[in-house]
Chains A and B, each alone.
Chain A
Amino acid sequence: MPRWQPVIGLEIHVQLSTESKIFSGASTAYGAEPNSQACAVDLGLPGVLPVLNARAVALAIRFGLAIGARIATRSVFARKNYFYPDLPKGYQISQYDEPIVSHGTLCLTLPDGQAKVIRILRAHLEEDAGKSVHDLFPGQSGIDLNRAGTPLLEVVTEPDLSSAAEAVQYMRALHTLVRFIGICDGNMQEGSFRCDANVSVKPVDSPVLGTRAEIKNLNSFRFVERAINHEIERQIELLEGGGKVIQETRLYDPDRDETRSMRSKEDAHDYRYFPDPDLLPILITEDEIAVARSALPELPQQRHARYVRDFGLSPEEAEAVSSELPVAEYFEALVDRCGDPRQAANWVTGEVFAALNRGTMPFSEVRVSSERLAGLLARIKDQTVSNSMAKQVFEAMWQGTEEADAIIEARGLKQVTDSGEIEALVDAVIGENPDQVAQYRAGKDKVFGFFVGQVMKRSKGKANPQTVNDLVTAKLKL
C-alpha cells in the first residue's frame, strides 16, 4: 500500500480555431515570417486598442455547453501585469475572477471500468504571448510576436486527478472533445494544445493537500506522463528525506527528461490583476446560449454509449468511430443507408481509415462518400461480391468517381454463386488431386484450405467463398 497519494490538477491552453486574433484583425495562421503577422495592436504600439473577436466568444460558449458548465452572462477581461519580452504590452489580457465558463465536468472511464468525474473549475479567454528564439543571435534573444494575441481558452481542473496516467487520460479526453466540437485543431506540435500541471503529494489518509509545484511546457501526452511521474517521485523523495516541497514553477526538459526550477522570479507573484479598462464586460444573452446549445453536436461520450447500447459495437469499435465528428457523422450516415452498424464500423475503421492513412489525409478528405460506400456494402449483402472482391472495388472507387455497381460491371467482378458451376470446379479439383484427398481423409485437416484455394483460383476469385466451403466440405466427406 502506497504511503503517498499524488494530487494533480491540469491547466490546458486550448488555442481557439479563429481566422484572426482575439483582439485584432491579424491572421492566426501558423508558420509565417517572424513578426509579419503582428499588427499594431499585437505589438502594443502607443494608442492602439483591443476589440474582441466574436468567434472567440462563440467557441468558448460552445465549450462551456459541451462540459455542462455555467456560462457567465457577464464576464470580465482583466490585465495580468508582468514584464517579459514576448509580452508586448507588459500585461496579458486574460480573465480573473469573472471567467466566461465555470463549473463543468468531464467524465472518464478508468481502466477498471469505473467512471470518474473530473471537475473543471473554469475556462477563461485570454491572449497568447509571442515567442523568443535564443539560438539565432549571439548574446541576444529574438522576439517573434506572430503568436501574440492568438485566442486561447485556458481550461483549469480541480485537483481531481490521482495519477500521471489519469492526467493523460483526462488530457486525451479533452483533446478529443475540443476537436470534436470544432473549437481547436488539436495540433500539439504547433502549440494548439498545451498543458501545465499542478502536482502535489499527501499522505494517503490525510485530508490536507501538500504544497504544489507547477510544471510548465508539457506539450505531448508522453511528456505529461513522464514529467508528472518524475515530479511525484521528486516530491516523495524530498518529503521522505525530511525536506519540504516549495511552491514554485518547474520547467520540464524533454531532452533530459527532468523538471528543474525556473529561475526564481521574486516579483512573479504580484500580477496586479484589474479589470481591463479598454474592454467592456462580455455580455451573453440567454438567447445566444440557447442558439449555441441547439447547434451543439451530440458529444463523443454520448455517442460512444449509444453505439455500444443500440448498435452492439464493442467499446473499442465505438471509440474508433465516435471520437471525431466527421467520422461519427460519416459512420451514422453509412449505418442509415446500409442498416448494419457492425459492418459499417468494420469498413470505416478498416478500409476507409487505411486508405486515408496511406495518403496521410485528414478525414475531411475522404474520397468515397458514405453514399457510395453504402452502394458497395449493398452488393456484399446481396452476395454480388465477396468481401475480398469488395476491397478491390473500394480501391477503384477511392481512385475514381465511379459507383460500385459500375466498377463491378466493368471489371466483371460479379461473384459466382451458382452452385452448379462451383460444384463442377470442386469436382475437378478433387478429381485431379487424389493424394491430397487421401491426406485429408487420413485426418490432415489443414489440406482443406488447399482445395478451397484451388477452387477460388480457377474461378478467378469470383466464386462465393461460403458456397465453395460448403461444397468442398460436403464432397470430401463422401
Chain B
Amino acid sequence: MLEEAQVQTLARLARIALEPAELPSLAAQLSRILSLVEAMEAVDTTGVEPLAHPLEPVPRRRPDAVTETDQRAEFGAVAPAMAEGYYLVPRVIE
C-alpha cells in the first residue's frame, strides 16, 4: 500500500507537480499495481545474481577521437529559451 504522503514524496523526487485532488486516486492505482507486483515475493531468489541485460555481449569501446562538429544552431532551434548560446532557466540559487 502506498500512502498519499508517499506518493507526494515520489512526485517531488520525480519533479512532477500534483494537485491535491489527484492524490487519492493515484495512491489507489499505484497501490493496486504494487499488489500485482508483490506476487514476485512468492519466488525464492536466494543466491540468484540479478540480470541487468538480457545478453551480455562483449561491450564495445569507442576510439578517443573527436567526431562531432558544432551543431549549436540546430540544437538551439528546438530549445524553449536560449540567449547568447546559453540555455536559460530561472535563476539558480546555490
Contact = CB atoms under 8 A, between A and B. Distances in A.
B65 A19 contact: yes
B66 A26 contact: yes
Contacts of B62: 20, 25, 51-54
Contacts of A39: 68, 71
A140 B91 CA distance: 4
Nearest to B12: A267
Interface stretch (B17-25, B26-34, B37-45, B79-87): B79-87
Interface in A55-84: 55-57, 76, 83
- Chain B binding surface, main DSSP class: loop
A20 B64 CA distance: 6
Contacts of A51: 60-62
Given A25-B67, A134-B92, A263-B94, A35 B52 contact: no
Interface residues of A, number: 53
A413 to B, nearest CB: 49
Contacts of A145: 87
Interface in A333-382: none
Contacts of B65: 19-20, 25
9 contacts: A35-B87, A38-B72, A57-B61, A134-B91, A134-B92, A142-B83, A142-B86, A263-B93, A266-B12
B64 A24 contact: no
Given A251-B94, A283-B58, A54 B63 contact: yes
B87 A85 contact: yes
Contacts of B89: 85, 140-141, 143
Given A34-B86, A139-B90, A141-B89, A19 B72 contact: no
A275 interface: yes
B64 A280 contact: no
Contacts, number: 122
Instruction: Give the secondary structure class of A's interface.
Output: loop
A25 B92 contact: no
Given A20-B62, A20-B68, 10 more contacts: A35-B76, A37-B68, A38-B75, A55-B63, A57-B61, A85-B92, A134-B92, A141-B89, A142-B88, A144-B85
Contacts of A76: 52
A270 interface: yes
B64 A18 contact: yes
A134 B86 CA distance: 11
A353 to B, nearest CB: 32
Contact of A53 (B61, B72, B83): B61
A315 B61 CA distance: 43
B48 interface: no
Nearest to B56: A280
Contact of A281 (B56, B61, B68, B83): B56
B37 to A, nearest CB: 16
Contacts of A140: 88-91
B76 to A, nearest CB: 8
Contacts of B67: 20, 25
A110 interface: no
A19 B60 contact: no
Given A85-B92, A143-B87, A281-B59, A54 B68 contact: no
Interface string A194-230: 0000000000000000000000000000000000000
Nearest to A43: B75
A320 B94 CA distance: 41
Contact of A142 (B63, B66, B71, B87): B87
Given A33-B85, A35-B86, A141-B92, A54 B53 contact: no
Contact of B64 (A19, A43, A85, A270): A19
A36 B91 contact: no
Contact of A54 (B61, B75, B88, B90): B61
